[in-house]
Amino acid sequence: MRVTVQLYTVRNEIAADLPGTLAALSKAGLKFVEGGGLSVAEAKEWKKLLDDNGLQMSGAHYGLNTFENPDDVFEAMEIVGCKTIIDPYEQPSNFETLDGVKTLCEKLTVAGMGAVAGGFEYLYHNHDFEFNNKFEGKSAWEHMVALCNPAWVNFEVDLAWVKIGGYDEIQLINDFKDRVGALHFKDTDPTKTPRWVIAGEGTVNMDAALKFADDNNIEFGAIELDESPCPPLEAVAKSFQFFSSKGYN
């Protein structure tokens, strides 16, 4: 498994200084970043900056709304050399009823079919609300797995959000190992403020998750902190050091 970082973690730093932020991530030892939402014009700028800093884009977050013009998404992805498209978030209201889940999955399937036809992998990234409601004894996320054909839609599992949603993160990824395309190695400690912590310092079972990644040939695991307990670039660097100490980079 290779370590990447979801750039939402350093969103404010990117807004203030994109070239400097990418240079800092490279200096910290990272070789991959997980981005998202780039237009074709932005992708051209990013490609040069990524190349200048020895970085590659492991995946990119694009919501369903961006698939109104999927060819633009595909062109941007081709420019930055990225082959994995990830839906990062859909409104919690989609998960309040089983019919809502079914409707969302129909939309994800259309997007996934288009992505796969274009030569891309298509994943859905969870939060906790996909686990908050149960229908017929199963969470909305479990219904998503059943409703979405693996030929077109699979899943980027955010381990911390699974735990916050009340599920055992290791049990879940093992139960659905054939549908896990990538992992977010987000860590959390509910006793801390913010509850997001440097990887290895929280309650997520990182060692078991890393073993899962090895056993199931997971290509990328992403560092991510929605909020950081220290300056975000420092939090990313410390999280990367944790993974490096375990033999992952």
Q: 78 by DSSP, 3-state: which?
A: helix
Torsion of CA 182, 180, 152, 223, to 10 degrees: -20
User: What does the DSSP assignment read for 102-117?
Assistant: HHHHHHHHHHHHHHHH
In this prediction, residue 245 carries a pLDDT of 98
In this prediction, residue 34 carries a pLDDT of 98
pLDDT tens per residue, range 156-213: 999 999 999 999 999 999 999 999 999 999 999 999 999 999 999 999 999 999 999 9
For 45, phi then psi, to 5°, come to -65, -45
In this prediction, residue 67 carries a pLDDT of 83
Q: Is 160 buried (19+), middle (13-18) or exposed (0-12) by CB count in 10 A?
A: buried
Are the CB atoms for 19 and 49 separated by under 8 Å?
yes
Q: What counts of helices (H) and strands (E) characterise the chain?
A: 10, 12
In this prediction, residue 54 carries a pLDDT of 98
pLDDT tens per residue, range 31-62: 999 999 999 999 999 999 999 999 999 999 99
Instruction: Choose among 57, 59, 61, 1: nearest CA to 31.
Output: 57
Single pTM value for the model: 0.98
User: What does the DSSP assignment read for 189-237?
Assistant: -TTSSSSEE-TTSSSS-HHHHHHHHHHTT--EEEE--SS-SS-HHHHHH
pLDDT tens per residue, range 68-122: 889 999 999 999 999 999 999 999 999 999 999 999 999 999 999 999 999 999 9
Q: Inform me whether the pLDDT recorded for 6 exceeds 90.
A: yes
- List the domain boundaries for the chain: 2-245
Region for 182 from its dihedrals, namely left if φ exceeds 0, alpha if ψ lies in -120 to 50, beta otherwise: beta
Q: What's domain 2-245's superfamily in CATH?
A: Divalent-metal-dependent TIM barrel enzymes (3.20.20.150)
Q: Inform me whether the pLDDT recorded for 66 exceeds 90.
A: no
Helix (H), strand (E) at residue 135: strand 134-135
Edge-first strand order for the sheet with 154-158 is 2-5, 220-223, 180-184, 154-158, 121-125, 84-87, 56-61, 32-36
Q: Inform me whether the pLDDT recorded for 29 exceeds 90.
A: yes
Q: At what angle do helices 18-27 and 232-245 cross, to 10 degrees?
A: 30
